[in-house]
Amino acid sequence: MRSTVIEKVLAVIGDIDRQDLERHFSELAKSEQMLESALDTIVETILIVNSHGRVTYINSAARKLFSIPDSQDKKWTLQNVITDKALGDLVWTAIQKGENIIGKEVSILAPRQLLLGISLMAIRQDPEKWGYVLVGNDLTYSGEHARGQINREKIQSILTLVQGIAHEIGNPLNAIVIQLRLLQKELGQLPVQKSGRIHKIVDVLLEETRRLDRCVHQFLDFSRRSPLRLRKTNVNRVVQDVVKLMAQELREGKIAYTLELSREVPSFLADGEQLHRAFLNIVKNAMEAMPNGGKLYIRTERIGKLLKVLFKDEGVGIPESDCNRIFDMYYTTKSTGSGLGLSIVKNIVEEHEGRIEVESHVGRGSTFSIILPIRQQKLELPASTGKERSA
């Protein structure tokens, strides 16, 4: 915007005297102020970024959305302004490639959890330089978000139904297992030549019954979504506890593990038991992906107001076509299992207002990254005014 003012002045400076020059400067300054004032009244966030990632303009809506104080100077970079790494990487990659982004929805965690609709468009600042206008809309409370809330409520209703059905199946299953074991004991008293074939049939029935029982328990675990119990939690310690619990199984599976836990990660509000459950599911998933052994790398890292917990294995990997489906309920590529493990992980992470990302290559392994907001204080409800809205 400043370069435009200078260009206009240079275009007329040879034909005017001092008073005219002052008048032109005054008029141009007023025009620029009017333009900035107009942009500040727009509810959409507007950033202007040059090809080097320097932010040359931020409107009021953007300052509010990204928590930028008005008193701050204008020496901003894209990294300073957009503190959410996923969004920052998306925008910067598009700028480097010279690509536009049109109406893309992005979930961000920093400076707080939001759903944004963004567009990035290239503009020519002069014959040799390009800039980019980033426009954002807060969709957090839009109709789409409301529909998402309705879908979550429907899922909760389904889970309640599943829980009831699992209980109804679980009770007779226990009785069947008991009766099969009694039958097994009775068969043990008969000669082998008479009971051998029946023994094999009973063994198969017991194994299949146990498998069904495991599935029922997984359904019950998944449907019991108790509210988070937020307490000051040392996530590094939670990771250590999970690895300690699984250490023997990792050794038996010939899986070497490496922990790299950052000392910069503070204790913060989280449900340690639920995170333990999520991390345990990912470690088990990694072990199943490495039936012949391998390496498991676990790292924690603080990124501004976010915590990243990374799990990297050398397993069989996940086909690209399956990566978007592995968190769906009951979806699995394994011959055994219910397909609930990663769904449980995703639910726990989202209840912490975080997100989970996966990167995988067939034959080379997978990397799961859990990203959580570092919260030090519980959000308090506003004090009651004693007035209630009429129905």
Higher-pLDDT residue of 325 and 347 is 347
Residue 385 lies in a domain: no
Rounded to the nearest 10 degrees, the angle between the axes of helix 341-351 and helix 192-223 is: 20
Judgement on whether residues 311 and 326 belong to the same structural domain of the protein: yes
Same domain, 356 and 235: yes
Q: How many CB atoms lie within 10 A of CB 248?
A: 9
What is the CATH number for 83? 3.30.450.20
Q: Give the contacts of 76 (CB within 8 A, at least 6 positions apart).
A: 54, 55, 58, 68
More confident residue, 160 or 75: 75
Instruction: Establish if 379 belongs to a structural domain.
Output: no
386: in domain: no
E strands along 160-261, which residues?
A: 231-233, 255-261
CB neighbour class for 297 (10 Å; exposed up to 12, middle 13-18, buried from 19): middle
Residues 134 and 163 grouped into a single domain: no
Using alpha carbons, select from 92, 104, 334 the residue that is nearest to residue 211: 334
Domain that holds residue 358: 231-373
Domain total of the chain: 4
Element (H, E) at 55: strand 54-58
Contacts of 141 (CB under 8 A, 6+ apart): none
What percent of the chain clears pLDDT 70, i.e. is strictly above it? 68
Rounded to a whole number, what is the largest CA-CA distance in the chain?
A: 121
In a domain, 387, yes or no: no
Q: DSSP class of residue 84?
A: -
Q: Is the pLDDT of residue 47 over 60?
A: yes
What would the pLDDT profile of 309-338 be if each residue is shown by its tens digit? 999 999 988 888 777 777 776 556 555 555
**Residue 213, amino acid:** D
Question: Could you say which of 120, 140, 160 is where a domain stops?
Answer: 140
User: Does residue 378 belong to any structural domain of this protein?
Assistant: no
pLDDT band at residue 382 using 50, 70 and 90 as cut-offs: very low
Per-residue pLDDT at 202 exceeds 70: yes
What does residue 287 show for φ and ψ, rounded to 5 degrees? -65, -40
Banded pLDDT at 174 (limits 50, 70, 90): confident
**Residue 11 sits in the same domain as residue 54:** no
Domain C-terminal end among 171, 195, 223: 223
Assigned domain for 2 exists: yes
Residue 183 pLDDT: 79
Does the residue 382 lie in any domain? no
Q: Give residue 236's identity as a one-letter amino acid code.
A: N
Residue 353 has pLDDT above 80, yes or no: yes
Q: How far is CA 126 from the centre of its chain?
A: 39
For the question of whether the overall pTM of this predicted structure is more than 0.85, the answer is no
367 in the same domain as 297: yes
Q: How many Å is the Cα radius of gyration of the chain?
A: 29
**Confidence category of residue 83, pLDDT binned at 50, 70, 90:** confident
At CA 213, angle to CA 209 and CA 217, rounded to 5? 175
Strand segments (E) across 78-208: 101-108, 114-126, 129-138
Residues 6+ apart with CB under 8 A from 221: 340, 344
